[in-house]
Amino acid sequence: MTAEEVYLKYPDEKVVGFFRGSQPELVIRDPEFMKRILVTHFHNFHGRGLLPNPTFVEPLLKNLFFADGDIWKLLRQRFSLAFSTGKVKAMFSFITERAEKLQMLTEEVAQLESYDARELMARYTTDFIGACGFGIDMDTLNDEKSIFRQIGQRIFKRTPYDAIRAVLKYTFPDLCKNITLLTPELETSMNYLVNSVLQQRNNESTGRNDFIDLMIELRKQGKIVTESMTERNADGTPKMIELDFSNPLLVSQVFLFFGAGFETSSTASSHTLHQLAYNKKYQRKVQEELDGILKKYDNKITYDAVIEMNYLEKAFYESLRMYPPVAYLIRQCSSKYTFPEIDLTIDEGVRVVMPIKAMFNDEKYFKNAHLYNPDRFATLKDMKNNLFIPFGDGPRTCVAARLGLMQSLAGLAAVLHKFDVEPSSKSIFRPTPDPTGTVSENFVDGLPLKFTKRKQST
């Protein structure tokens, strides 16, 4: 039974406990409880608990997303400044270039009766990751078989062999410590790509403001030092801990940037195109806004232009509400915790699951939740509250959320400013979820749409 099924089956409960195999889990159905777990009482729930055996972590998973405890705190401390507004603005030239190339590719696609919007946006985001992450122009927009596109597809494709490895790893974590969750070819490919770039640069930043440059600069800052979250001195004060930002650690952060930047942005933006194709009224409102804003910027998709695209942002967030790229959040209890309202105490080690997709589509919180309606967000504040948290919340919120948002909005603006989208003969209004998906919700046969050049486009 999944967390979403549990959420729907017990509509009157604040929490629901169940066993996943032999391990107890708790599904959180109450937004106030969710806020406490993610924000207010974060110190009791700072771990994700995603790794089957935290003492044996494969190299690529030693990254900010999977790390727990002190390793997470050390990495987060160093990364907080890497995605500041200033850093994102400095990276935006990569987005502008890829957005312009996306328009040219969409013009080719417009000659076809149908084309997968998921593939279109994945080629755009992967090309951006290649340039912004590695400083490499892989041209995935013009080559759907590029190595970057293949790696991106492999990260999020689960084969039967992958599933068997995962079952063994989680069922027998101590016995299967030498079995990896990720296919070994990914580690080989990522090490080769990152180390090749580092060698070309002689381990020196180039001033390109890409992710490799950021990592080199972070490594030059030396050891990361902070107070421990879990270890104490004899007098009760936190122990000081440190971490060397080694080459393998650098590679694992680049792997995270690659995977998260490619998958979540392409999934969310293609869902938005799919919804706008079936909701022409809102598509027109988006395009009217784009026409007015881009006219002021000589039809260039710049950072300042995207900042003004408020209605496009609403349209994007409404798609995130219906189909959040990550359907649930997971935390692990780090010390015994009590929910006083229901007199429930859970032990250390219990995982809590927050099915945010189910919450976002709950009529209790969103009227006519099954309908796509960007106008439900009367103000931008409505898109960022304690309940609607598509990028997470609290200290473990997505560190690169702003970059992902700007990348997605720029890609959508590039397509919708020049092209109309509508259902094709192969489109399905409510497409079938792909059972082989891992992190994000994908669909069987993708999201095919018809792209047509706008007659009114300037």
Give the residue ranges of the annotated binding site for heme.
Answer: 398
CA distance 211 to 362: 38
Query: Quick one: DSSP state of residue 38?
Result: I
C-alpha pair distances (Å), 94 with each of 82, 298, 411: 16, 18, 12
For residue 282, the SS3 value is helix
Contacts 24+ apart (CB under 8 A), 451-455: 451/106, 451/109, 451/110, 451/112, 451/115, 451/415, 451/419, 451/420, 451/421, 452/110, 452/419, 452/420, 452/421, 452/422, 453/107, 453/110, 453/418, 453/419, 453/420, 454/287, 454/417, 454/418, 454/419, 454/420
Per DSSP, the three-state class of 73 is helix
Q: Which residues are annotated as a binding site?
A: 398
The three-state secondary structure class of 217 is helix
Q: Is 275 exposed, middle or buried (0-12, 13-18, 19+ CB in 10 A)?
A: buried
Tokens of 322: 């219906």
Give me 396's structure tokens.
């473990």
Structure tokens at 381: 């504040």
Please state the three-class secondary structure of 162-182 as a single string. HHHHHHHHHHCCCCCCCCCCC
β partners of residue 240: 227
